[in-house]
Structure 1
Amino acid sequence: MADFIHWDIVQRYFVSILKAFPLTVLIVAVACLIGFFLGAIVAIIRVEKVPIANQIVIVFVSFLRGTPILVQLFVVFYGLPVLLETVGLSIEGWSKLTYVFIAYGLNCSAFFSEIIRGAILAIPKGQIEAARSIGLSQWRCYSRIVLPQAFRIAIPNFGVALVGLLQDTSLAFSLGIVEVMGKVRSIAALTYRNTEVYLIAAIIFIVASYLLKGIFQWIDQRIIYEY
């Protein structure tokens, strides 16, 4: 076992790889912001069955939920510039990290939209009807009554989705982003010690996943206690 794993390699490169973790956290954070915003809009369109828009978002969600994130990364990276050029927009100055944010944000929005939609449907319709009966607009009904409750209901599922998103960020290196896995691959190529450096990555992701899961469980318990 001592020959199989060189613990001195683990000790030497652990901090170096850990320093790349903040970029992984940044990708998750930005993707979540995009995912929450777009996901809520898509969920409302699905619940309200908005003509035409509903059919469009069904295709949107089906594509993003049915294809690997790696495919989506390359579709955004190579396809988005071509698409925008057709309408006269040039994005040559965009960094690769921007494409990563967009790809993960869109992917996150597809999964979040289904979580939010399920949470909205779990709210008694009588509350929405009562809000409409006292003259609240559809926007105020959702912003003040529906979405706050939906987010509380959806918290456990959000936690599961975010753990999956955290693990999916390991593919961002495909576009040359030096997050945890990007750093691991560069060190592995330098040292030829794949076992040790990938073990470091595994430790980082396992600990981060459990911490993230614990945070959402704590939030969920606090909400249950308060309500």
Structure 2
Amino acid sequence: MGKSFDITLVANFLPKLLYYLPLTLLILAASLALGLILGTLIAITRLYRIPVLNEISIVYVSFIRGTPILIQLFLVFYGLPLLLEIVHINISRWDPIYFVIITYGLSIAAFKSENIRAAVNAVDRGQTEAAYAVGMTGTQSFARIIAPQALLIAFPNFANSVIGFLKDTSLAFSIGVMDMMGRGQTLIAATAHTLEVYISLTIIYYATVLIFEKVFRVTEFRLQRHERPLTG
């Protein structure tokens, strides 16, 4: 049973938890970088229906989308070292944060690959044919015509998923990563003021999400500047 509620402790807990916010953001940034690279590669295999790789990608995306990320985290944390031991690679002493980044990167890759694929398919194919007609190569057509429009289409979904994965990083403490949630658990153990700790965490996460939403709105507005008709 926790101690009686003391709202003044929230102000005391906030700086102690905020100290670990950069680590949370680092996990998110590294996972996004890994996920976007892998997601783009997976999307390409799906778009061009590359034999074997296309089928593997379909199964992979289905598995990731159909299982909780917490289970994926445990599978990577406990399973990857055992798998690599087969080829005599020992990663059992790795910092748990690397397993978190790998897990989140793999998860982001599955979702972003579908986001990218859908965005590319949403662009009118007649524009590609027109690009070929004026002498562009396939690569030039994709880079100059398809990709910019696909980016604009995919951006809102991307922004929403980033916010979702930011909140999912709170699961990292379950394998021993001392992020904000992990620090929160140690504060609860030391003080028994559970509610005050969770209120502090709520404030930090909510404030961070509001900042992200503002940044994404400004970014989306700038991406759309070429789509808006000129006035005056």
- Using the size of structure 2 for normalisation, the TM-score is 0.90
In 2, distance between residues paired with 1:180 and 1:9? 16
Give the 3 Å change call, closer, same or farther, for CA 126–80 of structure 1 in structure 2. Answer: same
Partner of 2:203: 203
In 2, distance between residues paired with 1:187 and 1:80? 31
Aligned pairs for 1:52-201 within 5 A: 52-132=52-132, 134=135, 136-137=137-138, 139-201=139-201
Per-residue CA shift, 1:96-143, capped at 9, x if unaligned?
111111001111111111111111011111223344553514x45434
In 2, distance between residues paired with 1:14 and 1:215? 23
What letter is aligned with 1:136? T
In 1, distance between residues paired with 2:84 and 2:150? 35
In 1, distance between residues paired with 2:87 and 2:55? 24
In 2, distance between residues paired with 1:143 and 1:222? 19
User: Is residue 46 of structure 1 aligned with residue 46 of structure 2?
Assistant: yes
TM-superposed CA distance for 1:219, in Å, is 1.0
What letter is aligned with 2:171? L
In 1, distance between residues paired with 2:143 and 2:86? 36
Cα RMSD between the aligned structures? 1.8
In 2, distance between residues paired with 1:9 and 1:77? 35
In 1, distance between residues paired with 2:208 and 2:10? 18
User: Where does structure 1 lack aligned partners over 5 or more consecutive residues?
Assistant: none
Per-residue CA shift, 1:173-226, capped at 9, x if unaligned?
011111111011110111000000000011111111122122112111122223
TM-superposed CA distance for 1:92, in Å, is 3.4
User: Where does structure 2 lack aligned partners over 5 or more consecutive residues?
Assistant: 228-232
Matched length: 224
In 2, distance between residues paired with 1:40 and 1:129? 23
Give the 3 Å change call, closer, same or farther, for CA 208–84 of structure 1 in structure 2. Answer: same
Partner of 2:230: none
In 2, distance between residues paired with 1:79 and 1:52? 25
Extract structure 1 runs of 4+ deviating beyond 6 A: none
Partner of 1:215: 215
In 2, distance between residues paired with 1:129 and 1:85? 50
Which range is displaced more, 160-169 or 49-58?
49-58
What letter is aligned with 1:127? Q
TM-superposed CA distance for 1:37, in Å, is 0.8
What letter is aligned with 2:198? Y
In 2, distance between residues paired with 1:179 and 1:169? 9
1:226 is paired with a residue whose SS is coil
Partner of 2:23: 23
What letter is aligned with 2:137? L
Residue pair 2:152, 2:224 contacting (<8 A) in 1 also:
no
Which range is displaced more, 88-97 or 16-25?
88-97
TM-superposed CA distance for 1:90, in Å, is 2.6
1:178 is paired with a residue whose SS is coil
